[in-house]
Amino acid sequence: MLSVAWTMLAGDRAKCLGIVLSLAFTTLLITQQGAMLQSILSSTTSFVDSIGGIDMWVTDPRSAYIDDIKAMTDTQVNRVRGVPGVAWAVPLYKGSIRARLPDGSSQNSQFIGLDDATLIGGPGDMVAGTLADLRVADGILVDVDAAGGRLAYPLSGGGTRPLAPGDTLELNDHHARVMGIYRGRKNFQSQPVIYTTYERAKAFVPSERKLLSYVLVKLKPGADSAAVSRDIARLTGLKGRTTREFSEESLRWFIANTGVLMNFGLSTVIAFVIGGGIAGMTFHNFMLDNQRHFAVLRAMGAGSGTLIAMVALQAAGVTLIGYGIGIGAIALFAFAMAGSEITLTLTWSMIGASAAVVVLVGGVSGSFGLRRVLTLDPAVVFK
Amino acid sequence: MTGAAVLCRGVGKSYPSAAGRVQAVSGADLEVRAGEVMFLVGPSGCGKTTLISIIAGVLRRDTGECRILGTDLDTLAPAAASAFRRRHIGFVFQAFNLIPTLTAQENVAVPMLLNGAARSAARRAALEALEAVELGAHAAKRPSQLSGGQQQRVALARAIVHGPALVVCDEPTSALDHHTGMEVMRLLRRLAHERDSTLLVVTHDHRIYEFADRIAEMDDGRILRVGAPRPNDGSTVP
Ligand SMILES: Nc1ncnc2c1ncn2[C@@H]1O[C@H](COP(=O)(O)OP(=O)(O)OP(=O)(O)O)[C@@H](O)[C@H]1O
Ligand SMILES: [Mg+2]
């Protein structure tokens, strides 16, 4: 009887297609919006998340989130080093700089200065050269996306080639030599990200009294991060946050102070309501059209179990196919968009969440249909 | 089978309506012998459909007694009543009630599948039944590709494919023209006879009375008379 159930539905091409496509559309939109949101949210904190090997970020107490940089004086690094529980502490500079290409065009870039001695906080995934090459005079590292894109080397005959070790850039009228290319995570502004050493960064940027953005801290084994935070506040007047706290606080700030969640949330809800609504209505229509046939089956002796299995199969069938088409389309979309400015992070949790939503739609319309079928009066068949 | 296929005594059934309850059937007595072709006739609204629904086990009676093949369906649990219907009763409806997205053969296979037959066996039996109603060549067509008479013949095949002891038909010819109706009745009678099925047919159509072994006349919710059809004039003898 399950094959009969499937033929009943699939035989009605228009309606079946309508249900499947609206479920596919729902899947597509929800997943796309969700993945986009997830990409944006994770890119806002990717700088904090990408630096491993440290336990704590120390900033000016007024700094509310990752990009809210309130510069400190260099002496603060030493003061943090003196706080009980701190194993070591290193400076990190983060700012922006104008990079000029040989053809005279310029490009705003993020500029990061790493502790000269340890290079802590540097990129881990080198495509060309090594992190240690930064110690060479005037050395910088450029991310591979920018090297092939915004900072690509202009050729004399027109066109460009990817920036490579040995090439030079003008950073704020200072001569800088590309020593390595690394692969980094996308940042929110999708600007080039250039690494150098802390002292060199200070030399490159217009001289200001305070340039220290963050102090990166490693705790002594067994030290309690909350206690160290309190001591940092008490002894230095600065604010210490674990990597996780800093990342979460930044994310919360971003969500609270931009419309991003609202916008994406709204369009996701709209996708759910419209797509799910159309799918549900079409399925409901299908059940209405077929209730006479279900009544006939019931009169002819189809048991409740059989009818439940039939409707469940119909609902599950369209849900699965619709979901499959939707996810297939989104995967194709993500594939086509890979490497462009629009990034779609398709995570399993996202795929699972949209599955849950679509199954909810299928389940709800299926159980409405089922209720209709189970409460049918078989006596209507003679009417 | 010997004895009564249907035995009803004092069956009553009322429906709720705006002006109190409508007594659709009130004290109907009916006996249908195993293997016979019994017609149930009477004016519109006299309760024929209500009575046949009770007999077919798709409607519960209020009062009286009713045994189908020796079983009182109202005493069965819903699952057992469903099982009884799919095993022992075949249905023919005025509106054919074929599933439009299934082919003729798939439609006819449904009662076999409901009874747990394997798909291949169900398809084979369905094809045989279609051949018995002279539609073997149309097995792969959908109802919309068939004429009304052909659709009703598919419905006949569906009603008898699983060899039910009792086939109930409500106005099987009223949606068909005279000639087609006669053709359908001829086939229906032959099939029932070949398969030892008892046939209970509700009809308005005088012209098909000749196919009945006996005719029960109903009015006002009661069976007034039961008799053999009188040749040529369509009325019953007392
Ligand atoms: N579901 C119902 N609710 C209320 N009244 C009903 C219902 N079904 C039938 N009736 C009433 O019960 C009476 C008998 O109806 P029934 O359908 O059994 O008659 P019938 O002999 O089959 O008529 P017809 O020849 O027109 O088909 C009628 O008065 C009808 O209006
Ligand atoms: Mg009727």
Residues whose CB falls within 8 Å of the CB of residue A351, separated by 6 or more in sequence, listed in order: A31, A327
In this structure, are residues B197 and B167 in contact, taking their beta carbons and an 8 Å threshold?
yes
- How far apart are alpha carbons A267 and A273 in whole angstroms? 10
- Would you say the CB of residue B43 lies under 6 angstroms from ligand 1? no
Distance from CA of B174 to the nearest CA of A (A): 13
Among positive and negative, which fits the CA dihedral A111, A115, A119, A122?
negative
Place of tokens 């991003």: A260
How high is the pLDDT of residue B224?
Answer: 94
Q: Do A382 and B53 touch (CB under 8 A)?
A: yes
Distance in Å, alpha carbon of B185 to nearest chain A alpha carbon: 19
- Tokens coding A329: 């389309």
Q: What is the pLDDT of residue A188?
A: 61
Q: What tens digit of pLDDT does each residue of B47-63 get?
A: 999 999 999 999 999 99
Q: Cβ contacts of residue B192 below 8 Å, gap of 6+?
A: B37, B160, B167, B198, B199
pLDDT of B214: 95
Alpha helices for chain A (secondary structure H):
2-10, 13-44, 46-50, 75-81, 144-148, 198-204, 225-236, 243-257, 260-299, 304-337, 348-374
Chain B residues whose beta carbon lies within 8 Å of the beta carbon of residue A298: 82
Could you give the 3-state DSSP secondary structure of residue A350? helix
Among chain A residues, the shortest Cα distance to B89 is held by A300
C-alpha A41/C-alpha A15 separation (Å) is 39
pLDDT of the residue at A348:
83
Task: Give the one of A11, A12, A379 whose C-beta lies nearest to B59's C-beta.
Answer: A379
Asked if residue B234 is part of any domain, the answer here is no
Q: Looking at residue A51, what DSSP letter applies? A: -
Q: Are A211 and A204 in contact (CB under 8 A)?
A: no
Burial B94-111 (b: 16+ CB within 10 A, else e): bbbbbbebbbbbbbbbbb
- The verdict on residue B222 lying in a domain is yes
Taking only the tens place, the pLDDT of each residue in A327-338 is 898 888 878 877
Average pLDDT over residues A288-317: 90
CA distance A247 to chain B (A): 57
**A167 close to A178: Cβ distance less than 8 angstroms:** yes
Q: Is B215 left (phi over 0), alpha (psi -120 to 50) or beta?
A: beta
Euclidean distance between CA atoms A57 and A96, whole angstroms:
20
At which residue do the structure tokens 């549900």 appear?
A280
| Amino acid B106: pLDDT | 96
Instruction: Give a yes or no: residue B17 inside a domain.
Output: no
The DSSP element (H or E) to which B226 belongs, if any, is strand B222-227
- Flag the least confident range among A147-156, A172-181, B3-12, B80-89: A147-156
Q: Residue B1: which pLDDT band, with cuts at 50, 70 and 90?
A: very low
Q: What is A245-282 written as a DSSP string?
A: HHHHHHHHHHHHHSSHHHHHHHHHHHHHHHHHHHHHHH
Judge: A304–B49 Cβ closer than 8 Å, yes or no.
no
The lowest-confidence range among A141-150, A266-275, B11-20, B194-203 is A266-275
* Nearest CB neighbour to B101, from listed A7, A304, A378: A7
Q: What is the CATH number of the domain that holds B180?
A: 3.40.50.300
pLDDT tens per residue, range A36-72: 887 788 888 888 888 888 999 999 999 988 888 899 9
Provide the sign of the torsion angle of the four alpha carbons A146, A151, A152, A158, taken in this order.
Answer: positive
Q: Closest residue (by CA) to atom 11 of ligand 1? A: B24
Burial class (CB in 10 A: 0-12, 13-18, 19+), A284: middle
pLDDT of residue A186: 66
Q: Which of A351-360, B16-25, B163-172, B175-184 has the lowest mean pLDDT?
A: A351-360
Domain assignment present for residue B13? The answer is no
Range of the domain at B168: 36-61+73-227
Question: Mean of the pLDDT values across residues A187-193?
Answer: 76
Tell me how far the alpha carbon of residue A321 lies from the centroid of ligand 2, in angstroms. 43
Query: Does B114 contact A302 at a Cβ distance shorter than 8 Å?
Result: yes
Residue whose tokens read 């799918």: A279
Q: How far is the CA of B74 from the centre of ligand 1 (A)?
A: 21
Q: Is residue B134 part of a domain?
A: yes
Question: In this structure, is residue B66 part of a structural domain?
Answer: no
Confidence category of residue A340, pLDDT binned at 50, 70, 90 = low
Residue owning the nearest CA to atom 2 of ligand 1 = B15
Instruction: Compare all CA atoms of chain A with the CA of B83 and give the residue at the minimum distance.
Output: A301
Contact residues on chain A for B49, CB-CB shorter than 8 A: 382-383
pLDDT in tens, A128-155: 888 999 988 899 999 988 888 888 888 8
B153-190: pLDDT as tens digits: 999 999 999 999 999 999 999 888 999 999 999 999 99
In a domain, B236, yes or no: no
CA distance A79 to A87: 13
Please state the pTM of the whole predicted model.
0.75
Does B17 contact ligand 1 (Cβ within 6 A)? yes
| A11 interaction partners in chain B (CB closer than 8 Å) | 100-102, 142
Average pLDDT over residues A86-112: 90
Nearest atom in ligand 1 to B48's CA: 21
Q: Has residue B178 been placed in a domain?
A: yes
Is B2's C-beta closer than 6 angstroms to any atom of ligand 1?
no
Ligand closest to A382 (CA) is: 2
d(CA B137, CA B71): 39
Closest CA to B96 of B158, B164, B41, B140: B158
Q: Could you give the percent of chain A with pLDDT greater than 70?
A: 97
A306 neighbourhood in chain B, CB within 8 Å? 114
Chain B: give the shortest CA distance to residue A20, in Å.
18
Q: What is the C-alpha radius of gyration for chain B, rounded to an integer number of angstroms? A: 17
Strand segments, DSSP code E, in A76-219 are 86-100, 106-114, 126-128, 139-143, 153-154, 160-161, 168-171, 174-182, 193-197, 214-219
Indicate the SS3 state at residue B120.
helix
Going by pLDDT thresholds of 50, 70 and 90, the confidence category of residue B235 is low
> Which chain B residues touch A374 with a CB distance below 8 Å?
none
How many structural domains compose chain B? 1
Main-chain phi, psi angles of A116, to 5 degrees: -60, -35
- Three-state DSSP at B8 gives strand
